[in-house]
Amino acid sequence: MSIKVNDNWWQHLFDGIYLITDIRSVGDEQLTCREVDCLEEILGPDKSTPVLDLCGGQGRHSLELSRRGFRKVTVLDYSRYLVELGEKRAKKEKLNTVFVPGDARNTGLPGQSFRFVIIMGSSFGYFMNEDENKKIMEEAFRLLAPGGTLLLDLPDRDYVLQNFKPFSRHEVNEDVTVIRERELGEDVIYSRETVTSRKEGCLRERTYCIRLYHSEKISGLMTAAGFSSVTCRKNFMSRGGEGDYGFLTNRMIVIARKGQRVK
């Protein structure tokens, strides 16, 4: 591999430049509303349901849920920049969304506190060591009340492999250009992202990776963490005909349940 990735790359990537480079997705309010339409269908009509948006960044999904009347929505993310940005927006809009900085592997939140845990925007599978990804799954299980639901939004592995592009380039605006180089490992995509400004030169060059899961593997991972009734839905918010949107081009959602206590 010519693209070398630091194990802790995710600690430093998600900042103001990230919001610029991925604005086509994370800044697309219509897309967010469509995604939340799907979430709302799954979450059901009870607006008092406690929801945790794990690895939720600036809370684009959670803020929209709060706008729609959900009263107990919490966002946890490692990036203090994104957490503070979400807090400011919630305050500005007078929303009750709660933002918490933290590590998804060990949140420090009370166990069995949530009816739903959602992990959106392909925010799972960041660790090259699969045991660390498993810790997130186990933490989600701990945080869910019996009968609760975990929803994962993941890249569609089959689509990614069939449409793999080692190079992509797009212009964010008249000033900023994003170039991504990619290498395919064993179910891991390694990427180098170079962000340049015509005015200021190179803004950033970083490497990162994400693990790909086929439905059988992610189902096995969830089952090992204690979940049951695992289902997968492909072509979630597919943008395959619109260009290269990286890991958000074509996705699948995976839903699993935490069983009720045996009396």
Q: Mean pLDDT over residues 186-210, rounded?
A: 95
Query: HSE-up of 38 (CA within 13 Å, CB side)?
Result: 19
Q: Is residue 52 part of a domain?
A: yes
Query: For residue 10, what are the CA distances in angstroms to 30, 182, 207, 250?
Result: 26, 17, 10, 22
In-domain check, residue 203: no
Banded model confidence at residue 262, pLDDT cuts 50, 70, 90 = very low
How many Å apart are CA 199 and CA 222, to the nearest integer? 47
Q: Can you tell me the distance from the alpha carbon of 142 to that of 225, in angstroms, rounded to the nearest whole number?
A: 9
Count CA atoms within 13 Å of residue 4 on its CB side: 1
In a domain, 188, yes or no: no
Number of structural domains found in the chain: 1
- For residue 104, the Cα-to-chain-centroid distance in whole angstroms is 11
Q: What is the CA radius of gyration of the chain?
A: 18
Residue 146: domain span:
9-156+213-257
**Token pair in block for residue 162:** 């069939």
User: Does residue 248 lie in a domain region?
Assistant: yes
pLDDT band at residue 214, thresholds of 50, 70 and 90? very high
Q: What is the pLDDT of residue 137?
A: 97
Average pLDDT for 223-246: 79
126 in any annotated domain: yes
148 pLDDT higher than 50: yes
Is residue 139 a part of any domain in this protein? yes
pLDDT (tens digit per residue) in 42-91:
899 899 999 999 999 999 999 999 999 999 999 999 999 999 999 999 99
Q: What is the CATH number of the domain that holds 58?
A: 3.40.50.150
Q: State residue 224's pLDDT score.
A: 95
For residue 245, the model assigns a pLDDT of 63
Q: Is the pLDDT of residue 121 over 70?
A: yes
